[in-house]
Amino acid sequence: MEPLFDLAGRTVAFGGSLPTDAVIDALLRMNACPKNWRTPITIYLGVGSERRHGIRALEAIQTCSLIRSLRSPVHTVGLGLLPEFEALVLAAGQPGQRHLLPHALISLGGLDVDDITHLPNGSVGLGHHYREPSLREQAKSLIKIQIQQLTKELGLPRNLWSRPRMITATQAIKLGMADALVPIPTPQLILNFEKSPDHEIIQTPNEP
């Protein structure tokens, strides 16, 4: 999958081959545009299947902090399967403008930050420092604290990371991770028994 971002259309997506540092760069460029900085930036999440584990804990902290500091409003949309830290980015969008497709899923795998030693080169500038075991353990502890603090600041439940589970889009809305489902224009079908002389099930489009 090719990288997906459109600076003119103010759209960027997590997924495929687009690394997080490219997303950060795109957000900064769109925010700095002097002509249309008031136009919302839309971030799509859960795109593609190549990055199965989604973004890392530190990348989520970085991205969420940036989103909340931009002068441009940021809308977020969850499309497919969102790993836990992508779900945090979803929740960091502008309140009222955080949406999920009806069949989107969110994987809450627990607060696991063991991936800090496997970050892509250049993603957060950690380099060789995590090769030292003591520093690695300190970093993991601090990252957990930061994720918990971010969870609180976003108004999400304290027990969000209590156990691994998969939740639906509707459940995510109830937890405060999103505001609404993306409306999909599909014909509404009704069952009409009375007009059928043979008592067949007749499906007709619902009238507006």
- Structure confidence by residue, pLDDT tens digits, 89-110: 999 999 999 999 999 999 887 6
Mean pLDDT score, 145-155: 92
Exposure of 69 in the CB half-sphere (CA atoms within 13 A): 10
Ranked by mean pLDDT, the top range of 126-130, 144-148, 180-184 is 144-148
Rounded to two decimals, what is the model's pTM? 0.76
Edge-to-edge order in the sheet of strand 105-108: 81-83, 105-108, 165-168
**Residue 115: per-residue pLDDT:** 55
Does the pLDDT at position 198 exceed 50? Answer: no
Start-end of H helices in the chain: 20-32, 57-69, 84-91, 133-153, 169-174
- pLDDT digits over 14-33, tens only? 765 557 788 888 888 888 88
- pLDDT digits over 32-81, tens only? 888 888 899 999 998 765 444 457 788 889 899 999 999 999 999 998 88
Gap between the Cα atoms of 3 and 152, Å rounded: 32
Give me the percent of the chain exceeding a pLDDT of 90.
31
Q: Among candidates 60, 62, 93, which has minimal Cα distance to 76?
A: 93
User: What does the radius of gyration of the chain's CA atoms come to, in whole angstroms?
Assistant: 20
Does the pLDDT at position 197 exceed 60? Answer: no
Q: Among candidates 94, 91, 118, 77, which has minimal Cα distance to 174?
A: 91
149 vs 47, which has greater pLDDT?
Answer: 149
Architecture of the domain defined by 5-205: Alpha-Beta Complex (3.90)
Does the pLDDT at position 189 exceed 60? Answer: no
Token pair listed for 104: 């989107």
What are the CA-CA distances from residue 126 to residues 14, 75, 135, 148 (Å)?
21, 29, 11, 21
Report helix angle 84-91 to 57-69, nearest 10: 10
207 — phi, psi (to 5°)?
-75, 140
Ranked by mean pLDDT, the top range of 2-6, 29-33, 110-114 is 29-33
Q: For strand 165-168 and strand 202-205, is the pairing parallel, antiparallel, or unpaired? A: unpaired
**Total Cβ atoms within 10 A of residue 73:** 16
**Residue 64: per-residue pLDDT:** 93
The model's confidence at residue 178, banded by pLDDT at 50, 70 and 90, is: very high
**Residue 161: per-residue pLDDT:** 86
